Structure 1
Amino acid sequence: MAACDPADGWSAWPAPAKLNLFLRIPRRRADGYHELQTVFRLLDWGDTIHLRLRDDGAIRRIGASAAGVAEAEDLVVRAAHLLQKEVKVAQGVDISVEKRIPSGAGFGGGSSDAATVLRALDRLWGVSLGVERLAALGLELGADVPVFVHGHNAWAEGVGERLTPLSLPPAWYVLVDPGVHAATAALFQAPELTRNAPPATISDFVSGAGLGNAFEPVLRRREPAVEAAFVALARIGTPRLTGSGSGCFVEFATREDAGAALADLPSGLRAWVAAGASRSPLLDALEAAVIGGAWVGDG
């Protein structure tokens, strides 16, 4: 990532990671898409998006993508073009991504990065499009983008876009990245994927019912690294898969318990501790933003 000095006009915006605390597929729709049920838990850890406004209307990505994605296909670039086209703004932007969230692991990095670009540029360009319209634009980029635009933990249905905000208790997570880039489209086509799970309710989730993740058995059979991560995490608690990626996690009630459990894991695992967030840190950044010398609230 290039140096992004605020003195050179750069601003910095958080793009938090997420966990799916469960993921269920009640049915496959006639259009080929799958109806999902899940709970999104936002984390107080993730990427940072750096933005610098341009007067010439150009949208540029500064630096290469960590995942090797071409600039024109990068979700952050597509998000900026989409908003620019929607509101017909004359300004452009330089975008640099400080990447921490591993790609293809189910932690939502690309979707969160795109959502942060939408919300931050809405503020920096003085657009004030509104959260609902920004979320609708985000859905054009990916099913997980709207929850990051809204910035709240949520029960989700549909393809992930029908959101009901949830208040979740404080929690800390030991996260593991097995290093496998899971191909979501291929996993959705897996013949062994369960697509007819009985629909769950919010009450089921709140009661602590083990709702599971439909992709877990598929990935554990197909990817030895994912199975090895589950075996290692089983030493410290009950491991779960996030999203359709390869990332795994175990939940703890306190930071101290999570830290002690992390210390018990084999040294070869890429593992770390992250806190659950009560809401997206992006909302805090938006509320504190100073634009043009004046404080601007989140509204």
Structure 2
Amino acid sequence: MRLSEPAPAKLNLALHVRGKLPDGRHALETLFAFCTDGDIVHAEPADTLSLQISGPFAEGLEVEGNLVLRAAEALRGQTADTRGAALFLDKRLPVASGIGGGSADAAATLRLLTRMWRLDPARASEVAPDLGADVPACLLSMTARGEGAGDRLALITDPLISGRPVLLVNPMHGLSTASVFGAWDGIDRGPLEKWQQGRNDLQPAAVSLEPEIREVLDWLEGREGAELVRMSGSGTTCFALFATEEQSAAAAGQCPSKWWHMASLLR
């Protein structure tokens, strides 16, 4: 029997870089939110672990070392046997785009195999941090404030977020997280308080590496009804929050064909 699990796209509604942690990672304050759309991971019982990748953004993705397989192997390592699963990743989100694609896929795999193998969900929580700083947040896939490296989480309830129409736009150029952090100017511009008045401290660095991000941001800011426009994570995906689905849909219909876009809702 095939089981399926969504891997919702992650957005950083705000992302403040506050410096460095003792372990060398960057100290962050961020607000995670998740869309109702994203990649999908499927699984079927099997004697061994395997992965097939399909979908609009499958090209160029390697099976070996993929976070989906790494998550499955890490979770299996928490059990006393050698269970298997045939895994299938439907890759619908752009790669290296700041919306947690790989992390969300890993988290969906953990949730999926926890169900299939009938494991204690605490086992997934135990292995998630070692798979990446965003994986714990993606495992929850709920609005949360992240501190530390983004992996110290506190759930947030905010009526201005849940159900909010959003349009994601990507210029079809990826950036590595390491390169963007490397271009960050190192200035602590203060704590994250209200997310609406927050910022993404990595946005200027990403724009310096990929100027078309600025073009995407300017285009989104010009859409009727766009109430908040920012880049997510380390880029290159940008987003706009709207008051109504009609406004979001209208903006989606105007998106230049050279860019990827997705109209969705925040969970």
- The TM-score with structure 1 as length reference comes to 0.81
Partners of 1:67 and 1:103 within 8 A in 2? no
Residue 77 of structure 2: SS of its match in structure 1? Answer: helix
Which residue of structure 1 lines up, in the alignment, with residue 246 of structure 2? 256
- Whether 2:137 is the aligned partner of 1:147: answer yes
How far 1:155 sits from its partner (Å)? Answer: 0.7
CA distances 1:214-238 after superposition (whole Å, capped 9, x unpaired): 1111111221321221221121134
How far 1:51 sits from its partner (Å)? Answer: 0.3
Provide the C-alpha distance between the structure 2 equivalents of 1:86 and 1:129, rounded to a whole number of angstroms: 11
Provide the C-alpha distance between the structure 1 equivalents of 2:22 and 2:154, rounded to a whole number of angstroms: 25
Residue 104 of structure 1: SS of its match in structure 2? Answer: coil
Partners of 2:39 and 2:92 within 8 A in 1? yes
Structure showing the higher strand proportion among its residues: 2
Q: Which of 28, 34, 42 lines up with 1:50 in the alignment? A: 42
Provide the C-alpha distance between the structure 2 equivalents of 1:108 and 1:177, rounded to a whole number of angstroms: 13
Which residue of structure 1 lines up, in the alignment, with residue 203 of structure 2? 216
CA distances 1:89-146 after superposition (whole Å, capped 9, x unpaired): 332011111111111111111111111111111111122242xx42231110011111
Provide the C-alpha distance between the structure 1 equivalents of 2:98 and 2:60, rounded to a whole number of angstroms: 17
1:154–1:216 distance in 2 versus 1, CA, 3 Å? same
Which residue of structure 2 lines up, in the alignment, with residue 287 of structure 1? none
Unaligned runs of 5+ in 2: none
Q: Which amino acid aligns with 2:19?
A: R
Residue 110 of structure 1: SS of its match in structure 2? Answer: helix
Q: Which amino acid aligns with 1:101?
A: L
Which residue of structure 2 lines up, in the alignment, with residue 175 of structure 1? 168
How far 1:63 sits from its partner (Å)? Answer: 4.0
Which residue of structure 2 lines up, in the alignment, with residue 296 of structure 1? none
Partners of 1:17 and 1:45 within 8 A in 2? yes
CA distances 1:129-188 after superposition (whole Å, capped 9, x unpaired): 42xx42231110011111121232101101111111111333111110111111101211
Runs of 4+ in 1 over 6 A off after TM superposition: none
How far 1:258 sits from its partner (Å)? Answer: 1.0
1:90–1:221 distance in 2 versus 1, CA, 3 Å? closer
Provide the C-alpha distance between the structure 2 equivalents of 1:258 and 1:70, rounded to a whole number of angstroms: 34
Counting only pairs closer than 5 Å after superposition, residues 60-209 of structure 1 correspond to structure 2 as 60-63=50-53, 66=58, 68-130=60-122, 133-169=123-159, 170-190=163-183, 192-201=184-193, 204-205=194-195, 208-209=196-197
Partners of 2:3 and 2:112 within 8 A in 1? no
Q: Which amino acid aligns with 2:34?
A: L
1:78–1:251 distance in 2 versus 1, CA, 3 Å? same
- Percent identity over the alignment? 33
1:63–1:27 distance in 2 versus 1, CA, 3 Å? closer
Partners of 2:103 and 2:135 within 8 A in 1? yes
How far 1:39 sits from its partner (Å)? Answer: 0.5
Partners of 1:17 and 1:47 within 8 A in 2? yes
How far 1:198 sits from its partner (Å)? Answer: 1.3
Partners of 1:239 and 1:250 within 8 A in 2? yes
Partners of 1:28 and 1:195 within 8 A in 2? no
* Greater gyration radius: 1
How big is the alpha-carbon RMSD for the aligned residues of Structure 1 and Structure 2? Answer: 1.8
CA distances 1:3-38 after superposition (whole Å, capped 9, x unpaired): xxxxxx322211111110010011112332111011
Residue 220 of structure 1: SS of its match in structure 2? Answer: helix
Aligned residues: 259
Provide the C-alpha distance between the structure 2 equivalents of 1:68 and 1:83, rounded to a whole number of angstroms: 26
